[in-house]
Amino acid sequence: MEESIYTPSSTRGNGTSKYQLVMELGKGGMGIAHLAMSRGPQGFTKLLVLKIMRRELVAEADLRRMFLEEARISARLSHPNIVHVFEVDEHEGCPCIVMEYLEGQPLSSLLTRAPQRPPLALHLHILARALAGLHAAHELRDYDGTPLRLVHRDVSPHNVFVLFDGQVKVLDFGIAKAAGSEVETRTGTPKGKIRYMPPEQLLRDPLDRRADLFAVGVLLWEAVAGRRLWAEMEEGEVTRALLNRKIPALPDDPQIPAELRAISARALAPDPADRYPTAEAFQRDLDRYLSSQPVPCGPEEVGAYLREQFGDLRQATKKLIDYHIKSAQNGTGSTPVRTPTGPRRTTTNGFPAVPRVSGMTAMGAPATAGGLEGASGNEGGDAMTKAYPPPTIGALDPGMMTTETPTPLRAHAAAPHHWNRRLVVAGAIAGVLAFLLAGASFLRGGGSHGSEGRGGDRPASTAAVPLSPGAPVVCGPGFKPCGGECVSIERPDFGCGGESCQSCQVQNATARCNLHHQCDTAICYQSFDDCDGNSHNGCETDLRIDPDHCGACTRKCPQLPHAQRGCGDACTIWRCSAGYGDCNGVAEDGCEVSLYGADFNNCGHCGNVCVPGQHCRRGECVR
């Protein structure tokens, strides 16, 4: 089922909803994350994130139970290092999880997108705080005191989030498993990312908290070594190494402290019994090492690093969100704007020209839940006011006006006669029209300020200038007529500078207007990218499932014998051809066994061994 890109004007409803959606942040397998506003008394507004279950999945009982299981677990977790869930609710008939809004970046972005990688001490501090959050989750108990024995099962750089104030949060308990849960995953495939998975999880053995500690051990190894644990190994090679319990040791580098080498070796022990017993014990060793370092590292240093590395993106994203908030606040489905003053501008001001960032949401992920007066999150006041200051009479240059009709408004040149009666009358009429035009502009400009002074969030537009009843709307430079008023050609919710007034539709991305006033891509949703190089059609490729662009636009999965290619963050087998099976668990050689051949060790299906004296014929063991 193809879903349309969300725009505030299309989902506002009748105004009775508890939450008002502002913009779409990203999509997952079961839910769609939206930035939303919760309105309170006296105009107080709070930014939140709503993870709403996909409408086409609501009717499937198993998936609905899985989604509500995530909600049930997440709502029970309360710790400074875990993303906070306020409540579980419904939005337009779909279950939703209401979470705090986090302003920052995932650890994966710090490692791959920051101009400078985080210093080792700062990196270790982030991991120590993540361990504190995991320990709180592992220790969670039911209302009667029964331990829930919760396991996250998907600890990775994508699910460790760093805020601009230096705080660290563990995200996404979507595949977490609690003891006694009635919800089972649909397939027998292990859940999580193989490159951060312990051997017992790959073998589908019973898991406990030590599986999460192995994943943090991988994060620690990568922080100390400065590269990925499994480097560029294919998924099949990683699987083989894990099954054989061959975990790479840290490089033989004398600069690696012995204390960190010992901590890493214990965390990555193939046997769970040899690992740290709890996340708290793991965290204690990391904190002890950090306390012995000459340079202190805490939230202040983490926040300063993040603001330095991502400050520009932070400001651009604030403007982007502020724009969507202003659009969502307008009850008519459009936000009137003001005409720019001075000479005609050639750069975009009303909508931030945010550099497109692949694999990121609008803020990197769900941001700090804070109250916003008037829902304006920018530090310098009304962003729309600064982008569109009040007009002047000179801005309405008749020579640069556009109309809804193809005929330009030009005064017919008068014949070169001497002063006569007709010329005097024409001059008088022209003077009256000019006076009325100036008066209308002045009154509308004053009305706009007056409405704002009364706290109104719908300032009147002064760009629309009807010369007489029934006459076409005339717009100043940088504006176009839409629905009887003039709107900026820098507004993606009105199609930028295109002839249509329909909102820009770019798939799997947030739209913007580029320097040519055309619909363009601002930011790709998480796990999507613009692999065809055409930014006008959005981010068309899902890097998680496309075997021709698996994990990156340039990575194409090879053809496999007797199998269809698949992608699950890495190249894998989608399905085997009829009569074949992947019995060795290695994706690179495809489905290597003919299940209806003479292989008595895999007769009919993998692992079905014929007893001595039997042979395999047509998938059955016979004598």
Instruction: Kindly list the catalytic residues.
Output: 154
Angle between helices 210-225 and 258-267 (to 10 degrees): 150
Greatest CA span in the chain, whole angstroms?
Answer: 122
Structure-token pair, residue 87: 């409540």
Q: What are phi and psi for residue 250, nearest 5 degrees? A: -60, 150
Tokens 């500078």 found at: 497
Residues whose CB falls within 8 Å of the CB of residue 212, separated by 6 or more in sequence, listed in order: 134, 138, 151, 152, 153, 155, 279
Structure tokens at 459: 């300032």
Place of tokens 């996250």: 152
Q: Where are the alpha helices (DSSP H) in 191-337?
A: 199-202, 210-225, 235-243, 258-267, 279-291, 299-329
Q: Answer yes or no: are the C-beta atoms of 35 and 41 closer than 8 Å.
A: no
What's the gap between Cα 510 and its chain centre?
A: 10
Query: What end-to-end distance do the CA atoms of the chain give, in Å?
Result: 50
Sign of the CA dihedral running 483, 485, 487, 489: positive
Contact of 154 with 207, CB cutoff 8 Å: no
If we measure between CA atoms, which residue out of 72, 116, 113 comes closest to residue 95? 72
From the CB of residue 400, how many other CB atoms can be counted at a distance below 10 Å?
12
* C-beta pairs of 187-196 under 8 Å, 24+ apart in sequence: 191/153, 191/154, 192/153, 192/154, 192/156, 193/154, 193/156, 193/569, 194/235, 194/238, 194/239, 194/242, 194/569, 194/570, 195/156, 195/228, 195/229, 195/230, 195/238, 195/570, 196/154, 196/155, 196/156
Tokens representing 483 are 């629905």
How large is the C-alpha radius of gyration of the chain? 30
Q: How far apart are CA 245 and CA 571, in angstroms?
A: 22
Beta bridge partners of 100: 48
User: Cα–Cα–Cα angle for 583, 586, 587, nearest 5°?
Assistant: 110
Which residue, among 1, 29, 25, 3, has the nearest Cα to 507 in the 3D structure? 3
Is the separation of the CB atoms in 228 and 269 below 8 Å? Answer: no
How many helices (H) does the chain have, and how many strands (E)?
11, 23
Amino acid at 497: G
Contact 317, 367 (CB under 8 A): no
Of 63, 19, 22, 15, the closest CA to residue 493 belongs to 22
